Structure formats: C-alpha cells, structure tokens
Amino acid sequence: MTSKRWWRGAVVYQIYPRSFLDTNADGVGDLPGIVNRLGYVASLGVDAIWISPFFKSPMADFGYDIADYRDVDPLFGSLDDFDQLLAKAHALGLKVMIDQVVSHCSEAHSWFQESRENRDNPKADWFVWADAKADGAPPNNWLSLFGGVAWKWEPRRGQYYLHNFLSSQPDLNFHNPDVQAAQLDNVKFWLDRGVDGFRLDAINFCFHDAQLRDNPPKPPELRVGRGFSPDNPYAFQYHHYNNTQPENLKFLEDLRALLDRYPDIGALGEISSEDSLATTAEYCNDQRLHMGYSFELLTENCSGAYIRSTVEALEARMTEGWPCWAISNHDVQRAVTRWGGAQASDALAAQLVALVCSLRGSVCLYQGEELGLPEADVPFEALQDPYGKVFWPSFKGRDGCRTPMPWDGSDHAGFSDATPWLPVPEAHHERNVALQDVREDSVLNAVRAFLHWRKTQPVLVTGSIAFLDAPEPLLAFVREQDGLRLLVAFNLSADRIAWQPPAITAMLDVPGVTPAAVGDGALDFPPHAVAYASLA
C-alpha cells in the first residue's frame, strides 16, 4: 500500500441518490441533484462520498439489481452527468466511491436473459443453475434474505436458479472464471473513468458451495439477525454454504491486483456472515480489500460493553487490514431512533457522530445523520420496499431510513417539485438543512464543527485504540499516536453521571458535543456528554 491512503481514517458520506435531490421533477433524486449539493457535502468536513447504485436497473431493489454495469439509468441521468459529478467532487477535494454489486445482477441483464434460454448457450454456466430433486423440490434448503426459498424455477431450462436476495436478482456463478473476468472488467471500466474507490455490496456472497450442501439448522435461541426481520426464516439456518466460501479469497486478491494498478484506490467490503468480524479480518489485508464493515454496530444494542466488545474483537483479529464503522445506512433503522427512541435528543444525535468518528478506523456517515433525522414512519400504502411489503407489519422494511433529504421549508422539503417517491415526514421538515444552517446550536452545525476539528487531530484519524474499564452507561478508551495519549469517554445515557478517570493533564475544548466537566476529582457528564482529555 502506498503512503497516501486517502481512505485510512476517512469520513465517507453515503448518498442514496433516489432520496438526495430531484432536479427534473419526477419525484426521484438524480445525479445532477448530487452535483447541485456537493458544496453542502464538502462543507460538512467529510473526505469522500459513497454513491449507492445509479446503474441501469428495473429498480426491483432500487438499483441493487443491475441490468447494465456500465451505464447510468435514465432515472438518474447519464454518463456525462456522472463525469460532471466526478469532476466537481474532485475540485472540492472529495473522493468518490461507487457501489459495485458483483455477486448478483438483475434478471433483466443480458447475461441472464441469454443464460435462461437453454443449457448450451455461451452464458449457460454464468449463473447458479441446478436440477430439481426427484420430487421436483429445490436442490437444497438454502433461503433468501428476503424470505422464502432461494431457488426459482425456470421452465425454459427445466432448472432452478439461485437468488440469495430477490428472485429477480439471480446469483452469478463465480466458479466460472469468465464471470470473474467480466466483473473485474466492469470494475476496470469505472477505474478508467476516474473513481477513487468502491463499496462492494454483499462481497462475501460471490461464491456458493459447489456441492450445494444443505445449510444446518440453527437453534431457536440463536436466531437473531442484524438489521433483518425478527420473523425471517433466513435466521433459522447457519449459512455455511450459500456464502463466504474459501474460493472468494483468490477472487479478492485478483480484484486487489487490479485496484493496485491505479493510484490511491480504496475498496470497502460490506460483509455479513455467520462470524462477520472474523470474515472482515480475513478479507482485509495488503493482498485483499483495504477496508471492511459489517452490521455489528447497526443493531439495537448500544451499550458501552457491546460497543467495546465488538471493536476489541475486530482489533484482535484484524492484524493487517483497516476497519470501517457505520451506525446508519440505507438498510437499517436510523441510529437516533434505534438507540435513542422516539424522543431522542439533539445531544444524542451529535454524540453518535462523534462516537463513530472517534473509533479507530474509517467512517461511513449516512445522509441525514448530520441533521439528526429520526426514522420515518411510512404507512403501508406508501411503502416501496419489497422486503417491507413481505414482512409487514412485524417489520416495516427499509423505507423509513430512505425518505428524501429535507433541504428547506417548502413543499416536499425542497427535495422535488413533484410528489416524492417516498413521503417526507413532518419531523424531517422541522430539521431541514436551511433551518439548521442558520442555527448555531443545530445538530448540523455541531456535526460540521466536530468533523472539521477531527481533521486537526491525527490521533483520532490513525492512532491506536485501547479501551478502559468504565461502568455502564460509559464507554471510554484511549487513542494514542506519536507519544500523544487522548482519553475519549461517552455518557451513553440521558442521565447525569460522574466517573473517576485516569489522571488527565488537560481537558480539550471540542466543538459540536456536550462537554463533560472536571469537578471534585471526577468527570461530571451531563446527558449524552463527551470528554476528550490529554493523558500523561
């Protein structure tokens, strides 16, 4: 790895293009909308943007079902629009990462259209096809993340095909070297266009067990998911065979060899396996991915002990790679609601950004986190997410975190001149960018101030981390680099608490957070307060 490593310790702002800004009045955000607001993004003090899929797609899974890896869906604009986006972002000092969904594609992709026709065409072995059992049942017991069996019957071939996600998202057969070469060539297309990195969706799902062995059952007490419906039968199995296969390591090394042919590229893998921390450590090193993140901090468990145990577990296992942390994204309930409930305070919203940005690693911030947006309550009749429609009402899907960005106080919050694809909740209207921009005490200005301050603190960007014993609801650790030792402590509760820390030499005046204070030899923490202090 080169010494530049822009991604190491970077704060990456995730943009969900459908919901960012609509410039052509069709109710859906687009690439020109991103271009229009890049100045705002740069003002936050982030280092890069990650754009969720904008490729040609039937939009069954809103872009994560790709029909053409090398073109922009007209809904979002054109390749020229993307080139303008790239140029403006670079002019503002922002790196650009794009989503790559290599493990599966859309049933509308020309590869699948050809493959499904018969068993002897040039693409016949590009997808995971299997014969039925003697009784006509699917080849094995594998399940889809979106509910039900992971196999769909194709009468033209008289076979089933595998889909780990929607039935309209067939899995590619990575055991075929031609598939690997084709996906690497698609990655090269965007590298040649000038992108700075990739967020690799479901990267541990590329390979399946070639023997198609059944997954073993999981005991009821262990059927807990991360970001998934509690009654999803997907949790009933150990997923030993439908993902995270050893052959994937060689593909990651081939991918890394391609990335290393270009200067200063960063690759971030999304990893969800039976032991995601172990897989992240295995996938991230000098020969494979630069960074990895999983769903461990996207749960409802926000205790200090849980956060500590999660980070320590990855630190112990990842000896070469680099972690990346996120507490919100486009797939899970927004963090302020998930960790703070319906009445979450502004102090909590600002604290959560400070917390994830103080851990060792890079950071993904999801659009709207800087505004303290709560989860939206989207009524069933307005629901768009196919996952939510299947599991309603026990699980309302992912639309609640995907509603449009509120830019101002006008109709539809300045997102669009037309009716948005998802409604903007009233609570978001009250937290719009224009309103918060002029309020000194807003979450937006708190996050801005903190992120700009973080840039001046190398110890927070690339320093080591060591946790301290502290009672709940405290989380405390020391970041260290070049002889500087920085104590960081968070009161994760809405109660005032006191704590006796190690001997500190000075408290740091940190913008954007509720500060703890020294009193009677202890630190006094108001609700959701934070302490940054230098140690001897």
Active site residues: 201, 270
Block residue for tokens 């807990």: 224
Helices (H) and strands (E) in the chain, counts: 14, 22
- Which own/partner pairs from 496-503 qualify as long-range (CB within 8 Å, at least 24 positions apart)? 496/524, 496/525, 496/526, 496/527, 497/473, 497/525, 498/522, 498/523, 498/524, 498/525, 499/470, 499/471, 499/474, 499/523, 499/525, 501/468, 501/476, 501/531, 501/533, 502/468, 502/535, 503/535, 503/536
For residues 311-335, one letter each, b for 16 or more C-beta atoms within 10 angstroms of the residue's C-beta and e for the rest, the string is beebbebbeebbbbbbbbbbbbbbb
Element (H, E) at 185: helix 177-193
Nearest to 351 by CA among 492, 525, 498: 492
> Residue 363 carries which DSSP code?
E
Check: CB of residue 296 under 8 Å from CB of residue 227.
no
| Mode of pairing for the β-strands spanning 529-535 and 129-130 | unpaired
For the chain, the straight-line distance linking the first and the last C-alpha, in angstroms and rounded, comes to 33
Block residue for tokens 């494979």: 288
Separation between Cα atoms, residue 240 and residue 234, nearest integer Å = 12
CB within 8 A of 232, min separation 6: which ones? 145, 147, 225, 391, 395
Burial of 271: CB neighbours in 10 Å, binned 0-12, 13-18, 19+: buried
Separation between Cα atoms, residue 205 and residue 262, nearest integer Å = 25
What is the chain's Cα-based Rg? 23
One-letter-per-residue 3-state SS of 239-269:
CCCCCCCCCHHHHHHHHHHHHCCCCCCEEEE
Amino acid identity, position 380: F
| Mode of pairing for the β-strands spanning 48-51 and 11-15 | parallel
Q: CB atoms < 10 A from the CB of 177, how many?
A: 10
